[in-house]
A and B are shown apart, each in its own frame.
Chain A
Amino acid sequence: MLRHLRRALACLGALGLVACAVDRPPDTRRSGFDFMGATTLAMQRDDTQNPGMLWVQEGADLWERPQGRSAQSCADWHGAGATSMRGVASRYPAFDA
């Protein structure tokens, strides 16, 4: 029974994919990454050179800093950001449209 269900779902999924491939025009968007100069690319890829890492460090500091009346930090509630907040950057900020 389960095997039949799985097969049916797989077929539906495949049909869906095919339908999408046929209907949707090709995505011609390109990331700036693709046409960045070689030295700019090297600078961005190297965490010891990328100036954005200065702000990443600021974020890490803010995570530990006690705030507000309760004088608690994000870390007090969520622990080590690297583990508890893994993948968050790809989902937030989230807006109720």
Chain B
Amino acid sequence: MARTLINLPALSKKGDVIEVRTLNAHPMETGYRPGADGKVLPRDLIRRFTCTYDDGASREVVFQAELFSAMAANPYLTFALLVTGPGTLTLVWEGDNGFAQTETLPLRVA
């Protein structure tokens, strides 16, 4: 399973705008690069990242990104989130060759 690093404040308050930082270990093979044998290595990218926020009152997609070859390897994605209540964040990475990874983490609100 690919390694991920997700960073967000350990504790926040309702109304805060927090920054969620995500890192996912993935080669992000562009599909343009020749390998050692001269043949172009097939594309192998994470194509989409989605963050869903369940604050107890609703469950909504709060951030979604489409990624392309021009993204660096081990994609780093950071976005802002308005804290509306304690709940759960579900982060999903999907990509080529059936790549799919989900991480869930709690959002702790004082």
Contact = CB atoms under 8 A, between A and B. Distances in A.
Direct contact between the two chains A and B in their complex (CB within 8 A): yes
A49 B3 contact: no
Interface string B41-74: 0000000000000000000000000000000011
Contacts of B7: 48
Interface in B87-105: none
A58 B23 contact: no
B21 A51 contact: no
Contacts of B76: 49, 51
Query: Interface on chain B toward A: helix, strand, loop, or mixed SS?
Result: strand
Contacts of B74: 51, 54
Given A48-B21, A49-B76, A61-B3, 12 more contacts: A48-B7, A51-B23, A51-B73, A53-B5, A54-B24, A54-B25, A54-B74, A55-B3, A57-B3, A57-B5, A58-B3, A58-B25
8 contacts: A48-B7, A49-B21, A49-B23, A51-B73, A54-B3, A54-B4, A55-B3, A55-B25
Interface of A: 48-49, 51, 53-55, 57-58, 61
